């Protein structure tokens, strides 16, 4: 009896995870098409090159701003 109950709970949890994963995938797909899509089109119309792949360049180096070493460690972004 206990084994059957454990098995049922496990199946229930696995089902819940599958449903949550599917919902997550749907939501992310919606975000991708309804948010990132318009953002992408707008940026392209404005000629923004986020990855630095277009246009003539003479270097691929980008200068780095170095501040106070202590402050540099603050924050995750």
Partner 1 sequence: MKVLGLSFDYHDAAAALVVDGVPVAAAPEERFSRRKHDRSLPIRSIAFCLERAGLKIEDLDAVVFYEKPFRKLSRILAGTVSTFPSSGPLFRRAMGAWLDERLWVGPRLESALGVAPEKILYCEHHLSHAASAFLCSPFDDAATLTVDGVGEWATAAIGRGSRAPFRLDLDVEMRYPHSLGLLYSAFTAYLGFEVNEGEYKVMGLAPYGTPRFAAEIRKMIEPFADGSFRLDLDWFAFHRDPARSFSNKFVEAFGELRAPESGDPAGDKRLCDVAASVQLVCEELMLGLAQEARRRTGSSRLCLAGGVALNAVSNERLLREAGFEAIWIQPAGGDAGGALGAALYAAHALAPMPPALYEMKSVALGADHSAASAAAALTEAGLPFVELKGEDELCDRVSALLSEGKVVGWHQGRSEWGPRSLGQRSILADPRPASMKDTVNAKIKFREMYRPFAPSICAENASEWFDLAGPPSADPYRFMLATAKTREDRRDRLAAVTHVDGSSRVQTIDAAQTPLYHRLAKALGARTGVPATLNTSFNLKGEPIVEAPADAVATFLASGMDALAVGPFLTTGRPANPQPRRETCATSETRSDGLGW
Nearer to partner 1, 2 or 68 (CB): 68
Distance of CA 4 to the CA centre of its chain: 40
Binding of partner 1 by 75 (CB under 8 A): yes
Nearer to partner 1, 8 or 25 (CB): 25
Binding of partner 1 by 11 (CB under 8 A): no
Q: Using CA atoms, how far apart are residues 63 and 60, in angstroms rounded to an integer?
A: 10
Binding of partner 1 by 43 (CB under 8 A): yes
Q: Tally Cβ neighbours within 10 Å of residue 40.
A: 13
Q: How far is the CB of 63 from partner 1 (least distance, A)?
A: 6
Q: Are 43 and 49 in contact (CB under 8 A)?
A: no
């Amino acid at each position: 009896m206990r084994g059957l109950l454990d098995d049922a709970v496990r199946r229930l949890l696995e089902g819940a995870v599958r449903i949550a994963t599917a919902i997550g995938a749907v939501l992310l797909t919606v975000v991708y098409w309804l948010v990132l899509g318009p953002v992408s089109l707008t940026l392209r119309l404005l000629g923004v090159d986020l990855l630095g792949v277009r246009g003539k360049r003479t270097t691929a180096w980008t200068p780095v701003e170095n501040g106070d070493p202590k402050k540099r460690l603050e924050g995750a972004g």
